[in-house]
Structure 1
Amino acid sequence: MQATLNSYRPVLTRFQSLIALFILCLGISLMSDKFLTVANFWNVLRQISVNVCISTGMTLVVLTAGIDLSVGSILALSGAITAGLLRNGIQLPSLNLYIGFTLMGAMLAGMVTGTGLGWFNGWAITRFKLPPFVATLAMLTIARGLTMLWTEGFPITGLGDSFAFLGTGWLLGIPVPVWVSSILVAVAVLVTNKTRLGRYIYAIGGSESAARLSGVNINRIKIAVYSIAGALAAVGGLLVTARLDSAQPNAGTSYELDSIAAVVIGGTSLSGGRGSILGTVQGAIIIGVLNNGLVLLNVSPFWQQVVKGLVILLAVIIDKRADNEK
């Protein structure tokens, strides 16, 4: 019996995320007749699109044995910058000057904001040898404070139908956010599997000292990875802001937890060097289905936090056991 279990263990480990997703869907569908409907299917995909964007960047960071706790705050600030410039532009009364922004210009400014904050994370980590946990925790607070200053604590609303299409529109029968996240995932899979940057990311996570001795520019790769994570968080901010037609000062709160959960559940090791983008997508789907199911079952929001915390704990335990077995 033990020999039989050991022979199936590699298969179970490889498909554990899909098995967990199947069991979760089966359980929720038995308890709620609203779960297995077309409308709810698209609703779940639309909801997880933001987490997929953030988690794709988080995966790259974790593969280098790092972590980024600032993605939720970067999401909020990038969305607020975009909304503020689109709605109000830049006004300089002392110079009698007003600078207006087109839709693309405002979105580009939001993307530059996210990328710049991510770059700063990478620069601080590599320049001052700060632990990624500490550096990105500081950025979490900085970006959240800048969001409050920019919005003055009030939502920025009335952003127009063209911008709202990014979050609520449909294209060829599929929600636009799903298209956006799918394209980003496809690019990330290509980068990690087929490019030098992807090989270097895995090499750094596997053994930073060995990668350095092999001639890899560790600092440059880490800065690039954190910049990408910031840019993808900004994309998530655009999607959230467009879907709500409003930039909320507290947007993105706890998004970093869902992101880390998706990465770990998807099989990416917190020790770095092992994992995949597609695994993270599976993890994001599990988190999305779990959130959706808990809402359909009228579970208290407080208990939802407890359940998600236990899921993250279980995923980390499984990850550590897998590392120890190696």
Structure 2
Amino acid sequence: MKTPPLPPETLDRLPGLADLGRTATRLHPRPGEVGVRDSHVGGPLRWPADEPWPTCADPYQVHEEVPLPAELVERMRAAEARRTVSHQLADGEREVHDEIADLVGAGFTGWGSRDGGPTVGHRYVSRPHPTPHPMLPVAQLRAGDIPDLPRPGGADLLQVLWCPYEHQQESLWGPTVRLHWRRESELTGILADPPTGEIGNEVYRPRPCRLHPEQVVEYPFPQELPDDLRERVEASGVNYVSTFMAPGWKVGGYANWSLTDLGTTLCPNCAGPTTLALVIDSKEYDGGTRDRWRPVEEQHLEWADPRRFDSQEPTGIQVGRWGALRIFVCPRCPDTPYLLDLQ
């Protein structure tokens, strides 16, 4: 697949930006049959038969509903009705909120009703897996197909798995992730029937997708630019992030920090800089990026065409609130430590 080219005059308007370009490989996953030797999303892994299949023993989060007494709900509604400004709490409303939170208990996330049913409190509580839970294949990436894939220790194959349940982790809420780096030449005796487990959240079950890798050039997030260049960007009127930073599944390139501002991604072992190894995105593009980043081969799809979803949301994965899970690795350290960030 091919991304529409960036008009040359766009870069010409920002002298110095071209020197900061960095390649990234857009993966362009699209639903299709995949094999154990392919680069893919959601397909079988080339896993050694003599190596244990990875499991997750970390506690996962379970959603629970807690009934609220009718008297408490009535007081809450009465307090809300006293508001004079819709987004400002009325006198006494905060106290009712705190009372509800205390009643619901640890893990409280709010309250509400569904389809006219009773108002209930919502909370997430931690539960252990009864037994270590088999992890689910997410992606298999070959360096021979993906030129920007890191190759720590000479590895030429990356296998990504996760536990498809919600987990409360240090830096995010979502699936726990495992990375396995391998040399394809050393793989023999492939595991024919890997173990499977239940899916805690269906949005973490990837749809099998073939990849159509394409190497592109993208540019730093605005806060990473030199001060003088950032000032020219701000004065240019260009929608910088949508124009110069590729959305969707990709390997390499720059990270988009639009949600939180520029974050820190130093290696937890050596405190050195890490490399953006993989972006797992809920969508290939959206309404703000489709004209710039939708592949040429799919430009004919109208916004109302239902086939659009096979290109816009090909994998069926949703992380965060239709966000992107980014995996940063340190290729210099033993065992290739990695960091996760959700935007």
Q: Which of structures 1 and 2 has the bigger CA Rg?
A: 2
- Does the alignment reach a TM-score above 0.5? no
Compare relative contact order (CA 8 Å, sep 6+) and give the higher one, 1 or 2: 1
TM-score class, shorter? under 0.3
Which structure dedicates a bigger proportion of its chain to helix? 1
Q: Which protein has the bigger strand share? A: 2
